[in-house]
Amino acid sequence: MLLGSIEAGGTKFICSVGDENLTVLDQVRIETTTPEITLGKVIEYFSQFADLDSLSIASFGPLNLDSASPAFGSILNTPKLLWKNVNIMTIIRDALNVPVFITTDVNGSAVGENLFLKQAGINLHSLVYLTVGTGIGAGIIVNDQILGSNGHPEVGHIRVIKHPDDADFHGTCPFHDGCLEGMAAGPSLKARTNIPGECLALDDPIWDRLAYYLAQAVGSLNLIIHPARIVFGGSVVNPQLLSKIKKDYVQLMNGYVATDHLDDFLIRSCVPNNGSATIGNFALARKLVRV
Amino acid sequence: MLLGSIEAGGTKFICSVGDENLTVLDQVRIETTTPEITLGKVIEYFSQFADLDSLSIASFGPLNLDSASPAFGSILNTPKLLWKNVNIMTIIRDALNVPVFITTDVNGSAVGENLFLKQAGINLHSLVYLTVGTGIGAGIIVNDQILGSNGHPEVGHIRVIKHPDDADFHGTCPFHDGCLEGMAAGPSLKARTNIPGECLALDDPIWDRLAYYLAQAVGSLNLIIHPARIVFGGSVVNPQLLSKIKKDYVQLMNGYVATDHLDDFLIRSCVPNNGSATIGNFALARKLVRV
């Protein structure tokens, strides 16, 4: 089999070709500019592979994932205005003439993380992939299936209780005063300190606030869906922050639910080269191939 | 088929016998006292039905629902101390010698609500049953399966942002200052006003606070699992409160997700005689019968 993967992000499209063992055979990085230019290059890239069997897209969103809708496969109300209402799935499918699957970027990564752990002998009944980067989002896997495949979990916008030191900070979300993403995604660091997150010292007290919010997110995820594991992706959750999150989470639960085995329960992604969405896409594309 | 249902609650056990069409043929109510007395009466009741094929229990908890555990089927760390570590499933199964299924009370109700709607021609890809009574809990159905069947969703203990008028109220939960259950379950009404909830006027401003918290719960549930419907059970959510919840929910989402069709999305249980757990139990018991 020859399988295609498109990880469609706001700054770049990672396009890969792999085999049925989910091994990457070739990969290219295409800058996200206009739909015409970017998708043109994407199509040009995959057109080299005449034997391509199928392809899966893990895309930024919001996406229309309602297969009964005429707009199925299109990007919805995104702040990247040029991409609004672009039916990325149809464009790719019609140009390449292969079966195409589409899901959200976080769902693709969640599928990949789940498979990666499975290959390492760790079989989980459920897993949440929680990415904390420019935004915050989650993909949820239950019994090897994407949860809410026809919806788009928008975990980043759950409300959180403000840290006392954030009383005057409203967050960076244009919709909500004090949602998780507005208070704890990467841009919130710069919005508070005027220093980009990647330049902040690891012992800066600002990280305590992020831990406070992300621990609340872990709490709500655990109390609502009780996943076997939460895997952090994205650039924000460094090992120091993860330790703080664990500490705050224990305090927040206050003995009500078991908080042992936290080092297994809460981990950072361990897929090499940030490649969970690519592995996930290959697996999702593989399902489209009739054998 | 002759199917048994036990709805095991903190004040009463509702025991029912039904057929494969989920029709109640007989029912009895047994007071919850000690495990010996109550379970003795339960066993005595079902022993009358020599043809019983199987039985399902929807029980208060927390429960051990890990089928790999030696304590599978037992009640865990409950404030009802006499019931702690009682293996309700094993006791019933060994006494009646029929296959026995066990799940949480809210899971049983969620299964029942989902089936009831299905019988009315409403097929949903997912549903949350959210009960607001003495406590708050949720059962979640996705693709006709219980979500987290080997866990115990403890939705009642997610943290909520306090209403300004509740600044000095810490809630009734012994574990958490300001969790959903502590701030919005029935006992919180009396804790604030010294008047039992059922005697409070429907225009008392205290209901605004409950709506504020329950709207947050609806928001988190929707943003995390995106269910097709949320069904309120329990005694607290009256029609006036439901209207307030809808209003607050719209305000909370602030246009970020669609909030039309709210009258379909958020409903009160419409199963007659508060019977959702019984219907659910019959359906779960039916699955145990080899045909």
Share of chain A above pLDDT 70, in %: 98
B13 and B144 co-located in one domain: no
- Please list every residue in chain B whose beta carbon sits closer than 8 Å to the beta carbon of residue A142: 142, 147-148
B236 and B283 co-located in one domain: no
Residue B112 counted as domain residue: no
A262 and A285 co-located in one domain: no
Tell me whether strands A54-59 and A100-104 are parallel, antiparallel or unpaired.
Answer: parallel
A77 and A140 co-located in one domain: no
Q: Which of the listed ranges A9-13, A253-257, B93-97 does the model predict with the highest average pLDDT? A: B93-97
- Please list every residue in chain A whose beta carbon sits closer than 8 Å to the beta carbon of residue B221: 224
Residue A169 counted as domain residue: yes
Query: 3-class secondary structure for chain B?
Result: CCEEEEEECCCEEEEEEECCCCCEEEEEEEECCCHHHHHHHHHHHHHCCCCCCEEEEEECCCECCCCCCCCCCCECCCCCHHHCCCCHHHHHHHHHCCCEEEEEHHHHHHHHHHHHHHHCCCCCCEEEEEEECCCEEEEEEECCEECCCCCCCCHHHCECCCCHHHCCCCCCCCCCCCEHHHHHCHHHHHHHHCCCHHHCCCCCCHHHHHHHHHHHHHHHHHHHHCCCEEEEECCCCCHHHHHHHHHHHHHHHCCCCCCCCHHHHEEECCCHHHCHHHHHHHHHHHCCCCC
Could you report the per-residue pLDDT of B159-205, keeping only the tens digit for each?
Answer: 999 999 999 999 999 999 999 999 999 999 999 999 999 999 999 99
The predicted structure's pLDDT at residue A132: 97
pLDDT over threshold 70, residue A150 = no
Give the Cα separation of B74 and B87 in Å (integer): 4
A91 and A133 co-located in one domain: no
What's the complex ipTM?
0.88
pLDDT over threshold 80, residue A149 = no
B31 and B135 co-located in one domain: no
Buried-exposed string A196-229: b where 16+ CB fall within 10 A, e elsewhere: ebeeeeeeeebbebbbbbbbbbbbbbbbbbbbbb
Give the residue from B5, B73, B71, B83 showing the smallest Cα distance to B38: B83
Could you report the per-residue pLDDT of B219-278, keeping only the tens digit for each?
Answer: 999 999 999 999 999 999 999 999 999 999 999 999 888 898 999 999 999 999 899 999
Nearest by CB to residue B220, choosing from A145, A178, A220, is A220
Side-chain half-sphere CA neighbours of A123 within 13 A: 1
Could you report the per-residue pLDDT of B15-37, keeping only the tens digit for each?
Answer: 999 999 999 999 999 999 999 99
The predicted structure's pLDDT at residue B290: 78
B92 and B192 co-located in one domain: no
* Neighbour tally for A178: CB within 10 Å: 17
The predicted structure's pLDDT at residue B79: 80
User: Closest-CA residue in chain B for A178?
Assistant: B161
pLDDT over threshold 90, residue B78 = no
B176 touches chain A (CB under 8 A): yes
Nearest by CB to residue B159, choosing from A151, A161, A255, is A161
Q: Can you give the residue range of the structural domain that contains A9? A: 2-105+273-290
The predicted structure's pLDDT at residue B150: 63
Mean pLDDT score, A248-266 = 93
A57 and A71 co-located in one domain: yes
Bridge partners (DSSP) listed for residue A130 = A138, A232
Nearest by CB to residue B220, choosing from A178, A224, A257, is A224
Q: pTM of this prediction?
A: 0.91
A128 with A138: CB under 8 angstroms?
A: yes
Inspect the interface and report whether the beta carbons of B161 and A157 lie closer than 8 Å. no
> In 3-state terms, what secondary structure has residue A200?
coil
Give the Cα separation of B176 and A66 in Å (integer): 39
Residue A114 counted as domain residue: no
B132 and B85 co-located in one domain: no
B93 and B203 co-located in one domain: no
B219 and B279 co-located in one domain: no
B79 touches chain A (CB under 8 A): no
- Which residues have C-beta within 8 Å of that of residue B260, sequence separation ≥ 6? none
Residue B21 counted as domain residue: yes
Instruction: Provide the CA A231 distance to its chain's centre, in angstroms.
Output: 10
- Please list every residue in chain B whose beta carbon sits closer than 8 Å to the beta carbon of residue A160: 161
Residue B12 counted as domain residue: yes
Inspect the interface and report whether the beta carbons of B216 and A159 lie closer than 8 Å. yes
- Which residues have C-beta within 8 Å of that of residue A143, sequence separation ≥ 6? A125, A126, B145
B42 and B61 co-located in one domain: yes
Mean pLDDT score, A210-222 = 97
Q: How many domains does chain B have?
A: 2
C-alpha distance from B225 to closest chain A C-alpha (Å): 6
A92 with A55: CB under 8 angstroms?
A: yes
- Say which CATH number the domain at A87 has: 3.30.420.40
The predicted structure's pLDDT at residue A49: 98
Residue B126 counted as domain residue: yes
Strand order through the sheet with A24-31: A24-31, A12-18, A3-8, A54-59, A100-104
Q: Which two tokens stand for residue B197?
A: 């909830």
- Please list every residue in chain A whose beta carbon sits closer than 8 Å to the beta carbon of residue B140: 224-225
Amino acid identity of residue B148, one-letter, is G
